[in-house]
Chains A and B, each alone.
Chain A
Amino acid sequence: MNEPSQTPNPSTPDPGPADKSHGVLYVGIDLGTSRTSVCASNGVRQTLASYVGYPKDVVSRKALGKDILFGQEAMDNRLSLRFFRPLEKGELKGSDREDSPEAKENLQAARDLIHHTIELCAPRKDELIYAVIGVPAQASIHNKNAIIEAAKDIVDSVMLCSEPFAVAYSMDRLMDVLVIDIGAGTVDLCRMHGTMPEDSDQITLYKGGDWLDQEIFKEFKTACPGADFNINMVKTIKEKYAFVGEALDPVLVEFPVKGKPTTFDVTEPLRRACKRIIPPMVEALHELVASFDPEFQERLRRNVLLAGGGSQIRALDVEIEKEMKERLGGGRVERIEDPLYAGANGALKIAHDMPGEYWQQLR
């Protein structure tokens, strides 16, 4: 690999006279399967569901008054739209089959989502935009290429970094920390030891929020006979009530039974399903701790950070600690304060700290 020079690389095309002379807007993006969050150096912080929709026909175009809808608005109008959730299991759908129509459509949806995310930052036209995008720890090369291609035509320079690393960077905790980033598509575990994590430092599990939705759905099907509900309704209930450990109050939900709203107590089925997320996570955690330098294993066990949307499952930190006590003899789990934006904040911080000549070389 080339040593980065301290002056712009002569082989890099000169970007030309700066018509973007007003300033530099740094943008950090957490491109998630379920939610995309963005933080920018002009103070903007936004988050939206990672949904994109295009009106199906002229009639829906006229009724909706837009060519593309994003986030919750797309979800709410999905019946009138060609509806896309361009990421699945932390990857762009079809990024391994670039020429398939599905891949092309999803790539376009991802491109539009990234464009929209940048637009949410309200950048000035005369500012340079330098973006860092957080991607799953073990995203494939195809996936990374697709994300870079999607971003390149709207930002002046873009870099990718692993999501759990961005979380650790946002908290200035780069030494002997183990980050568990629970997303909708994946659960990424990454141990930090002061340098860039390598493949052996990271484990990606595909039992994230979407998988949990399915598990809850199955539990509800058994526990709520005759009830009519879909996966979106389950997702909404999960986001509101998901918990492990002791229930503070019974979880009562209303589902229609033959058209009549009926109340069901789903406390136990919800707890049972949510608990299933813990064993694979602790198993992977065990693997990362056990393969770490024995002198520092204790420190790693005591510095587990819980991030991502899934970290909002009530009492998850406590239950993981219990499981760690059984398997690893103890440990301390800390839930980060701002799970929705921690990844984007970290990406923004990386963007800010990145030397100017590095950005220049990637333009």
Chain B
Amino acid sequence: MKGKELKQSLKEALRRFSFRTTPDDLKRRGVENVHVVGLDRIVGLVEEAVRRTLARSFHLGNQGAGTLAAGAKEEFLKLLERTKDLEKARDEAERMRKELEAQVDTLRLRLKETEAGLHKERQRIKETVEAQALLEEAKLAEAIRTLFRTWEGREDLSLLREEVVGLVSAHVVQEKNKALAAAMEERDEEAQRLRRRVAKLASSLEKAEEALRNYARNGQIDQGISSVFRTIQGLSPVDPEYKRKKDVLKDIFLSNLKLQKGIETGEQKP
């Protein structure tokens, strides 16, 4: 099982670290012929080379070299397992980033709407409280004046009357400001809460984006593996079985054409 895993992992590692090029690039560099070695063959050679080197360098018998090779295999697999974990973490970070972006967008919108609402509400509260206060003030002043009118005729009371009116007015203004501040504070708390949430999410988003940038810098995000063919190929005219293959390829195409055109027109649907 480990052997199979190792072969598979070696293949993946070879693909990941191999240099990619195209026949056109090679031609431009003046290369006319290339030797092609299959991945299986390379993997086999690497395994055998490791085993022989261990046996020769450390004067180990087959069993000793085998034990060392098994240990090395295990370490190699652990390293690759770690890479797999990193890839899993990258996918998770990518998913998290998308979720966070969506949350931040929603919250930013909500914050904007709330702040606009808050501004309007503030104005409304201010106007209401002020109007109410003015009314209360006028009522109170009138009540006090009425009271004092009952005391008219007594010369020593005129000064007192003005002082009482002034004092009560100041009190009313103070009460008005307190009520206004309390109302504003309640609305501000919600805005503050939203701001804190946006800040927290923005920070998480930044971390997720940084993690993704790191993966990209380390070459973890692959753009895919290029095909060795730049253009559409086809059967080589020098193929020894050219005629026969040409005929069977045509048959395959025709049966597929019939099948697929049937799908498109619905002819073959039950």
Contacts and interface: CB of A to CB of B under 8 A. Distances in A.
Interface string B232-270: 111110010100110111111111111110110000111
B66 to A, nearest CB: 20
A293 interface: no
Nearest to B245: A353
Given A355-B234, A358-B249, A358-B253, A125 B224 contact: yes
B221 to A, nearest CB: 12
Contacts of A145: 259, 262-263, 268-269
Contacts of A160: 256, 259
Contacts of B248: 165, 169, 174, 195-196
Contacts of B228: 41-43
Contacts of A40: 227
A333 B263 CA distance: 40
B224 A123 contact: yes
B74 to A, nearest CB: 20
Interface range on chain B: under 10, 10 to 19, 20 to 34, or 35 or more? 35 or more
Nearest to B268: A141
B225 A43 contact: yes
B230 to A, nearest CB: 5
A41 B229 CA distance: 7
Contacts of B15: 43-44
Interface in A151-191: 159-161, 165, 169, 172, 174-175
A145 B209 CA distance: 43
B57 interface: no
Nearest to B14: A43
B226 interface: yes
Interface residues of A, number: 53
Interface in B178-231: 222-231
A141 B259 contact: yes
A24 B233 contact: yes
B227 A25 contact: yes
B13 to A, nearest CB: 13
B229 A23 contact: yes
A362 B226 contact: no
A342 interface: no
B107 interface: no
Contacts of A42: 225-228
Interface in A21-47: 22-26, 40-45
A222 B260 CA distance: 50
B48 to A, nearest CB: 18
Contacts of A45: 11, 39
Given A194-B244, A359-B232, A362-B257, A24 B250 contact: no
B92 interface: yes
Nearest to B229: A24
Contacts of A127: 224, 226-227
- The interface centre, meaning the residue of B232, B234, B268 with most chain A CB atoms within 10 A of its CB, is B232
A358 B248 CA distance: 13
- The interface centre, meaning the residue of A125, A165, A362 with most chain B CB atoms within 10 A of its CB, is A362
Q: Nearest 8 pairs between A and B by C-beta?
A: A196-B251, A124-B224, A356-B232, A25-B227, A353-B235, A42-B225, A358-B253, A159-B256
Interface of A: 1-2, 4, 22-26, 40-45, 65-66, 96, 98, 121-125, 127-128, 130, 141-142, 144-145, 148-149, 159-161, 165, 169, 172, 174-175, 194-196, 350, 352-356, 358-359, 361-362
7 contacts: A4-B250, A26-B229, A41-B229, A145-B269, A159-B252, A174-B245, A195-B247
